[in-house]
Amino acid sequence: MTEGNTVMQPGAEPARPRIWAVGGGKGGVGKSFISASMGVALAKAGKRVVLVDLDLGGANLHTSLGIRGSRFSLSDYLSGKVADINMVAEQTDTEHLRLISGAGDSLSIANIQFFQKAKLLRNLPKLDADYVILDLGAGTSFNTLDFFIEADHGLVSVTPDPGSVENTYRFLKCVLIRRLRDVPKQARESIQKVMSRRREAVGTVGSLADFVEEMARLKPGVAGTLRRELDAMKLHIIVNQVMEPSDTELGPSMQMVCSRYFGTHISYLGFLHHDKMVLKALQQRRPFLSTFPQSRLAIHIDTMVASLMAQEDVESITTGDGT
Amino acid sequence: MTDYYSLLRITPQASKLDVINAYRHAKLTYRKDSLAVYSLYTEDELALIRQEVDKAYAVLSDREKRRAYDAELGYAPAANAAGGADDWDMQEGDESEGEGLPAAGDSLLRQEADNVVHLHRREPRDYDPDLERRIQAAEEFPGALLREVREYRGVSLRDVADHTRISISYLRAIEAEDIAVLPARAYLKGYVGQYAAEIDLEPHRVVHGYPPLNVD
């Protein structure tokens, strides 16, 4: 999303909410847990937060927050039944925290139309909040990718198992390539040309970094655009469900691999321990962070949220001089 | 060919310690069966990357070679601009020289500083796929294998002793599995772990696989 026409003064409240998206290729890696917990953490820090359940067709963010049903859901807005997006955001038990729930969504919501997606993307920034957190579904469908790309910060949750790592890389690949769709038409044509040539010569397209490097040799201008697009993505990895000390190496290592393979910087936000109490809190239908605010897990979430917020502050002061 | 600095994810201004840490991190990241590279690279590609990492370290950890490399690629490292040749050593010798310590202490510190430099001037042998495979597959780590790995990595016993503060006689005994000389089990566990880390093996694997620790 462009910094665009909102000129921000240092220290001034941003005119539109900051959008954070939580995604990741695989199911069960804690996307909803992280979204809900970060929402609670931000709300506790006094920010006005709206959580949006965008796991279309598999929504259960309300359950992570201990909410059974709700008056409105996302479908009500998408179908036009409710005109204002702020109307479907309902207050939760936590102060300052509202939720656009997917509970009782229409059964066809998994296949929303393009115009519905566009409507949602256009209106998310109009939510009356400081922060909007998007809880995305697993997989790499265009719907998921587009919400992820439009966010100010994209958080990817990965657990220390090969399946999750594999899907995370796949997800990141899809995100970055989808992002390149935004480059000007001319550049896109040269990209296609180089890609198909590589496919013929080497057999595979190879890594994104290699591709950008080859582009730099052939068309330095286009490569510059590519690099700018890739660098504009603010991606973060969270390693979730850590059980052994050695698991914590995964984050920094994936960061190193990403910079080699994708040729772009992906930050490592931190890790979260595996904690049986998460299940307990879910069974009690209460948000984990409010139930166990002193737990190690809660403290780590608070730290991550604080570090992301600090990054936002830096950005709003320098007004994004993308390097 | 990838730039050595970006391969290790450090800047051309990186200190010697940064280089060492980055090297260890890279070796860990690109090791065989590394989770972090799953589905991106094949075993062969990984082996190539590891070789590249070794090459990068060989150049960047050597002052002369690094300077030549910087010159070739047009990097102007901060260190070279001002003081020239001695900057690296000065940084490490700083504490000993600046404080005006008595002569005896001075020479002792200087000796230590020399050790630090020496420690990281390892001269590993050429990449040995057979040994690497054996290290990866090993369930048992007898003293002889530890010694072989240590020599392969180009680490002397003195280096290990200086770095870990474990006496050299214990280290010898660990490699010889000389039970009469080895310390009590509880200490031995710690020693073997520290020793393993020095030669870039995973401590817990080695502790589990070290035969004298497995006799009850």
Q: Does B11 touch chain A (CB under 8 A)?
A: no
Sign of CA dihedral B152, B153, B158, B160: negative
Q: Determine, for residues B38 and A259 on separate chains, whether the beta-carbon distance falls below 8 Å.
A: no
Residue B160 forms part of a structural domain: yes
Residue A67 forms part of a structural domain: yes
Name B116's Cβ contacts closer than 8 Å, sequence gap at least 6: B92
pLDDT digits (tens, 9 = 90+) for A235-272: 999 999 999 888 989 999 999 999 888 888 899 999 99
Residue B110 forms part of a structural domain: no
Which value does ipTM take for this structure?
0.78
Looking at the predicted structure, is the pLDDT value of residue B99 above 60?
Answer: no
Nearest to B35 among A165, A252, A259 (CB): A165
Residue B99 forms part of a structural domain: no
> Tell me, what CATH number does B161's domain have?
1.10.260.40
N-terminal to C-terminal alpha carbon distance within chain B? 52
Residue B25 forms part of a structural domain: yes
Q: Are A130 and A17 spatial neighbours (Cβ–Cβ below 8 Å)?
A: yes
Same domain, B141 and B67: no
Domain end marker among B41, B59, B80: B80
What is the tally of structural domains in chain A?
1
pLDDT digits (tens, 9 = 90+) for A174-201: 998 888 877 777 777 877 787 777 777 7
Please tell me which residue of chain A has the smallest CA distance to B5: A260
Residue B53 forms part of a structural domain: yes
* Tokens at B205, concatenated: 């694997």
Q: Does A257 touch chain B (CB under 8 A)?
A: yes
Please list every residue in chain B whose beta carbon sits closer than 8 Å to the beta carbon of residue A161: 35
Q: Determine, for residues B25 and A170 on separate chains, whether the beta-carbon distance falls below 8 Å.
A: no
- Alpha-carbon span A311 to A300, nearest angstrom: 17
CA distance A272 to chain B (A): 17
Q: Determine, for residues A259 and B6 on separate chains, whether the beta-carbon distance falls below 8 Å.
A: yes
Indicate the pLDDT class of residue B170, thresholds 50, 70 and 90.
very high
Least confident of A27-41, A167-181, A198-212, B115-129: B115-129
Amino acid (1-letter code) at residue B51: Q
Which B-chain residues 33-72 have CB contacts (< 8 A) with chain A?
34-40, 49
Indicate the pLDDT class of residue A12, thresholds 50, 70 and 90.
low
Residue B187 forms part of a structural domain: yes
The stretch A128-132 carries a mean pLDDT of: 95
pLDDT digits (tens, 9 = 90+) for A93-112: 899 999 999 887 778 888 88
Q: Determine, for residues A250 and B28 on separate chains, whether the beta-carbon distance falls below 8 Å.
A: no
The stretch B69-78 carries a mean pLDDT of: 78
Looking at the predicted structure, is the pLDDT value of residue A64 above 60?
Answer: yes
Residue A323 forms part of a structural domain: no
Coil/strand/helix, residue A29:
coil
Please list every residue in chain A whose beta carbon sits closer than 8 Å to the beta carbon of residue B39: 162, 165-166, 169-170
Mean residue pLDDT across chain B = 79
Residue A315 forms part of a structural domain: no
Sign of CA dihedral A137, A139, A142, A148: positive
Which B-chain residues 123-142 have CB contacts (< 8 A) with chain A?
none
Helices (H) and strands (E) in chain B, counts: 13, 0
Indicate the pLDDT class of residue A53, thresholds 50, 70 and 90.
very high
CA distance A162 to chain B (A): 6
> Tell me, what CATH number does B63's domain have?
1.10.287.110
- Alpha-carbon span B49 to A147, nearest angstrom: 35
The pLDDT assigned to A245 comes to 86
Name A200's Cβ contacts closer than 8 Å, sequence gap at least 6: none
Residue A207 forms part of a structural domain: yes
The pLDDT assigned to B86 comes to 42
Domain containing residue A148: 18-309
Q: Are B201 and B141 spatial neighbours (Cβ–Cβ below 8 Å)?
A: yes
CA distance B99 to chain A (A): 38
CA distance B97 to chain A (A): 37
> Tell me, what CATH number does A227's domain have?
3.40.50.300
- Alpha-carbon span A21 to A128, nearest angstrom: 17
Nearest to A257 among B2, B6, B29 (CB): B29
Of residues B123 and A277, the one with the higher pLDDT is: A277
Q: Determine, for residues A253 and B36 on separate chains, whether the beta-carbon distance falls below 8 Å.
A: yes
CA distance A61 to chain B (A): 29
Residue B134 forms part of a structural domain: yes
CA distance B26 to chain A (A): 8
Domain containing residue B144: 129-213
Residue A175 forms part of a structural domain: yes
Nearest to B25 among A165, A252, A260 (CB): A252
Q: Determine, for residues A260 and B26 on separate chains, whether the beta-carbon distance falls below 8 Å.
A: no
Please tell me which residue of chain A has the smallest CA distance to B33: A162
Of residues A317 and B209, the one with the higher pLDDT is: B209
Nearest to B35 among A250, A255, A256 (CB): A250
The stretch B15-22 carries a mean pLDDT of: 91
Indicate the pLDDT class of residue A159, thresholds 50, 70 and 90.
very high
Q: Does A253 touch chain B (CB under 8 A)?
A: yes
The pLDDT assigned to B96 comes to 40
Half-sphere exposure of A60 toward its Cβ, with a 13 Å CA cutoff?
A: 12
Residue A322 forms part of a structural domain: no
Please tell me which residue of chain B has the smallest CA distance to A245: B204
* Strand order across the A18-23 sheet: A89-91, A97-100, A49-54, A131-136, A18-23, A153-158, A235-242, A267-273
Write down the H helix ranges in chain A.
31-44, 61-64, 74-78, 85-88, 114-123, 142-150, 162-179, 185-202, 208-218, 220-232, 250-261, 276-283, 288-291, 296-318
Q: Determine, for residues B36 and A170 on separate chains, whether the beta-carbon distance falls below 8 Å.
A: no
pLDDT digits (tens, 9 = 90+) for B199-213: 888 899 999 999 998
Same domain, B139 and B209: yes
